[in-house]
Structure formats: structure tokens, C-alpha cells
Amino acid sequence: MTLYEKEINRINGLIYSNQEQIETVIGVRSYIDHNFDKDLNLDLLSRFRFVSKYHLLRLFKKYYGLTPRQYLIDKRVEKSKEHLKNGLSVTETCFSVGFESLGSFSTLFKTKTGKSPTQFQKEQLSRSKLGSEL
């Protein structure tokens, strides 16, 4: 092996040393994106990628700045906004995005958006009516 090949291997080792970690967190994020409406928890996600739940928690936070739970909640709120804009009732929206309690959904939605789901939906419907009248 030449000096140049050794140096290339050394640089590759530095650059791609965390490739497995990146693939793990991307895989978990993708799994959450496609299964946000199911009952997901850290144990399930760690078994899905064959990694310790504590290690997964640290990796996910390192690469995305959020824990998997925080990311899941944000994803559910994002999807619930879409459902509410499309005219689904608050109750239908709550259960279709994976929340188990209407009360906790409403509280969390208001915390994240500053409005209750009903207020949000009314505003969106009035905006769409104004837009169609113009």
C-alpha cells in the first residue's frame, strides 16, 4: 500500500466514521414519518434499528436537535393542521394522527400553535372562504 492509499484510507475513516450513526437516525426519522399515527415509543424505535434506546436518544438529539418523542409530536401536530384545514373534525383529527386523548391533543396543539384546534380550524376555513371570494 502506497503512502497515498494510506492517506486516502485515513481520510475516509475520518469522514465516514459516523455513517452508521447517520443511517440509524435517518432510518428512525423515516420510520416516524411513515408511522406517526401508531403507538411509537423509544423501546420500539430502538428495536427497529437494533440500537440501545439511550444511544438512539443521544444520536437523534445530536443530529436533529430534538428527541424522537419531540419529533413525533411535531410531526403529529403538523399532520393535524393538514387534517383540520381539510375539514376533518377535531376528534377525527386527534385519533387519525395517533393521539389517544382528545384533551391531551387539544392542550398539546394549543401549546405548539398558540391556538386550540377549533380556533385554528375556524381561522383556516374563514381564510379559504375569503380567498375564494376574491
Integer Cα distance of 84 and 82 in angstroms: 6
Q: Could you tell me which residues come within 8 angstroms of residue 94 by beta carbon, excluding any fewer than 6 positions away?
A: 80, 101, 102, 105, 106, 117
Phi, psi angles (nearest 5°) of residue 35: -130, 25
Task: Answer yes or no: do 40 and 82 share one domain.
Answer: no
84 or 130: which leads in pLDDT = 84
| pTM (whole model) above 0.85 | no
Q: What angle do CA 100, 101, 104 make, to 5 degrees?
A: 120
Count of C-beta atoms within a 10 Å radius of residue 63? 16
CB 81 within 8 A of CB 120: yes
pLDDT tens by residue, 21-62 = 888 999 999 999 999 999 999 999 999 889 999 999 999 999
Q: Does one domain contain both 128 and 101?
A: yes
- In this structure, are 105 and 48 located in the same domain? no
For the chain, what is the domain count? 2
User: Do 63 and 85 fall within a single domain?
Assistant: no
The pLDDT of residue 8 is 80
Q: How many CB atoms lie within 10 A of CB 128?
A: 12
Question: What's the grid cell of residue 64?
Answer: 436533529
Q: Which domain holds residue 120?
A: 74-133
Same domain, 66 and 79: no
16 phi/psi in degrees, rounded to 5: -105, 15
51, 82: one domain = no
Domain containing residue 45: CATH number: 1.10.10
Length of the chain: 134
pLDDT of res. 132: 62
Of the residues 49, 70, 91, the one at which a domain ends: 70
Same domain, residue pair 66 and 78: no
- Chain centre to alpha carbon of residue 51: 19
Which DSSP letter does residue 86 get?
T
Tens of pLDDT, residue by residue over 66-108, are 999 999 999 999 999 999 999 999 999 999 999 999 999 999 9
User: Are residues 83 and 50 located together in one domain of the fold?
Assistant: no
- Asked whether the predicted pLDDT for residue 133 surpasses 70, the reply is no
